[in-house]
Every structure is written in structure tokens, then in C-alpha cells.
A and B are shown apart, each in its own frame.
Chain A
Amino acid sequence: MIAPLQILLFLLLALAGPAVVLTRIPVPQSIAVSFYGLVLAMIFFLHQAPDVALSQIVVGAIALPLMILLAVAKVKSREAAGK
């Protein structure tokens, strides 16, 4: 009933989700969540939702990893200043 490409992307997302959770260190995790956001945007695009796909790319691949890296940088600079 649904195309094989959609099923393949669903399975890829099912693998990417645990991969993000099991990456415990924040900086590699930001790269993993960026990939997860990209797969999610592809799923939205294949399901005829271009507005939502644009929004997801913009948030999940630009804003979210950026905020994570900035938070990690701020924490590290405060640790370095405290020592």
C-alpha cells in the first residue's frame, strides 16, 4: 500500500533514533541528531508535506545542533574559567 522507499526510510529512522539516544557524549550526539533530523525531513517530503519538511530541516539540522554546541562551549568555558 505504501511505496517501498517510505518503508525503507521508516526503518532507517527506527535505527537512527536509538543511535541518538545511545550516544552519551553531547558533541557527537549533535551530529547524530542532525542526521536524524535529515531522515525525518526526507520522510516528511515523501509523504507530501513540503512545508513541514522545510521547517524540520531548518530546526533540526541548523538550530538544534547549533544550540547544543553553544551550550557545550559555554559549559566548557565556565569550567576553564573556574579552574
Chain B
Amino acid sequence: MNLRLALFTAGALGLAAVMAAGMRRLEPIGSYHGAYGEVLNAVAVGERNSTDVVSAVNFDYRGLDTLGEEYILFTSVLAVAAILRKQKDEHDEAPDQFREVPASDAVRLLGVGLVPVTVVFGLYLISHGAVSPGGGFQGGVVLASVPLVVYLCAGAKTFLRIPPPALAKAGESSGAAGYVLVGCLGILAGKAFLENVLPLGRPGGAWSAGTILFLNLTVGVAVAAGFVELLSSFVEKALKR
């Protein structure tokens, strides 16, 4: 252990010296000279009718990178489900080992208040990705936290009444495939893959920016279903009927 710590200290000092030498030549924070960012800020609202330039970059100008990112999430959920599947020598737990509903009324009231607000907020974040900060990923994870709130505030029995895991799997694969299908609309129209070919609306409304809205919806569905799937791989029997 001491040898490991000594080796690490030597290496860390060397790394710190190299990083200090390199970072000393960087400009101080606040002085930005890049050309790409300023060009994008100037033309994005006019070209794509989307007031949120970061979403326009993510789903339109660099849409292929977001396709890769969504498939990273998809592959990781697949791998976690494969790693944590039930092995041959495991036995099932008895179903009466579930934690019962909490006796505190304050927690249940909090759950009743939180669930509708969170669902609406998640849907708002997903569908208004092109207008204000938000987007498919953020709204998808907010939506995925709703079954968790139900489980925490209402116990396992109410949680089991939420739709079965087949729906989560179907949602995730349809989200991942839907992104590619929306991209193929560009090919069908005779232009490049993932090009924005739908009619652009008025900037500031929810139906603006063409394909960005549909890409946000597919990413939101895929991310929400993927995170619910991920959580259920860890929670052993909670989602099985």
C-alpha cells in the first residue's frame, strides 16, 4: 500500500507540473475568441426558428452526435440488464417481503402533490426543448423519477399497478428507432440524413423548428423508458407481476 501511494504521489506531481505548464498559456476565463460559437449565435434563430441555440446544436447542427449518445444510453441499459439478470442458482424472494405503505400521512400527501406536477413538468421540458432550456434528456429523466416517487410514498403494492416492464422495453426501443426514422425523413425528401425538412413554425411557439420537436420527443421517450428499465434491473422483484 505504501509503495502504491508513493508511486501515485510521484506520478501526480509530474502530472500536476505538466498541467500547470499547459494551463498557464491558456487565456484567462472570460476572453473567448472562437469563431464557430459567434457564427452559430448569429444565424441559428434565423435559420432554424429555434430560440434555444444549444438544443438546435444538439439536434440539428450536430444531430448525428446525439444519435450516438442515445445509443450509448441504449447499450448501457442493455448491458446492465444482461449483467444483473437472474442467475440459475438464485432463488426468488417471497412476495410478502415488500415494505408496507409508510404510516406517515405527510409523506403520502407529498407524493400525491408531487406526482402530477412532476409529470406535467417533465412533459413540458421535453416538448419545449427548442424554445427554452430543457430538451429530451432532461425531461426524460424527470419523467423517469415519477415511478420512484410513487414507490417511495405509496409503497410497493401501488407501484406494481403501474404498467408492466414490457411497456418500458417497448418505449425504449421505439424511442431509439424513432430517432433514426425521423432522420430518414430527410432522405425521403431528397436531402441529407437528419436534415431539418419539416416546415418551420414561428420562433417561440411549441411547433417551431421542424424536426427538432420530434427528435426531442423520441429522445425523451427513450431516456425515460431507459432509466425506468435501469432502475428496475437494480430493484429485484419490484416491477415483476
Answer whether A and B touch in the complex at a CB cut-off of 8 Å. yes
B55 at the interface (CB under 8 A from A): yes
Query: Which bucket holds chain B's interface residue count?
Result: 20 to 34
Q: Are B235 and A58 in contact (CB under 8 A)?
A: no
Question: Chain B residues near A50 (CB, 8 Å)?
Answer: 133
Instruction: Please tell me the number of chain A residues within 8 Å of chain B, measured between CB atoms.
Output: 20
- Please, which residues of chain A bring their CB within 8 A of the CB of B28? 1
Residue of A nearest to B122 (CB): A58
> B106-163: which residues lie under 8 A (CB-CB) from chain A?
125, 133-135, 137-138, 141-142, 145, 148
Does A1 contact B30, Cβ atoms closer than 8 Å?
yes
| Interface majority SS (helix, strand, loop, mixed), chain B | helix
Q: Judge if B182 is at the interface, Cβ distance under 8 Å.
A: no
Q: Answer yes or no: A70 CB below 8 A from chain B CBs.
A: yes
User: In angstroms, how far is the closest chain A Cβ from the Cβ of B20?
Assistant: 16
Q: Which residues of A contact B (CB under 8 A)?
A: 1-2, 50-55, 58-59, 62-63, 66-67, 70-71, 73-74, 77, 81
- Chain B interface (Cβ within 8 Å of chain A)? 28-30, 52, 54-55, 84, 93, 125, 133-135, 137-138, 141-142, 145, 148, 227, 230-231, 234-236
Q: Which residues of B contact A71 (CB under 8 A)?
A: 234
**Number of A-B residue pairs having CB atoms within 8 Å of each other in the complex:** 45
A58: chain B residues within 8 A (beta carbon):
137-138, 141-142
A54–B138 contact, CB under 8 A? Answer: yes
**Which of A55, A62, A73, A81 interacts with B137 by CB under 8 Å?**
A55
Q: Taking A54-B133, A54-B134 as contacts, is the C-beta distance between A62 and B30 under 8 angstroms?
A: no
Residues of A within 8 A of B141 (CB): 58-59, 62-63
Q: Is the interface of A mostly helix, strand, loop or mixed?
A: helix
Whether B133 contacts A70 by the Cβ 8 Å rule is no
Q: Which residues of A contact B93 (CB under 8 A)?
A: 81
Q: Is the CB–CB distance between B29 and A51 below 8 Å?
A: no
Most chain A CB within 10 A, of B28, B29, B138, B230, is at: B138
A62 contacts across to B, CB distance below 8 A = 141, 145
- Of A51, A52, A54, the most chain B CB neighbours within 10 A belong to A51
Please give, as numbers and ranges, the residues of chain B lying within 8 Å of A55 by CB-CB distance: 137-138
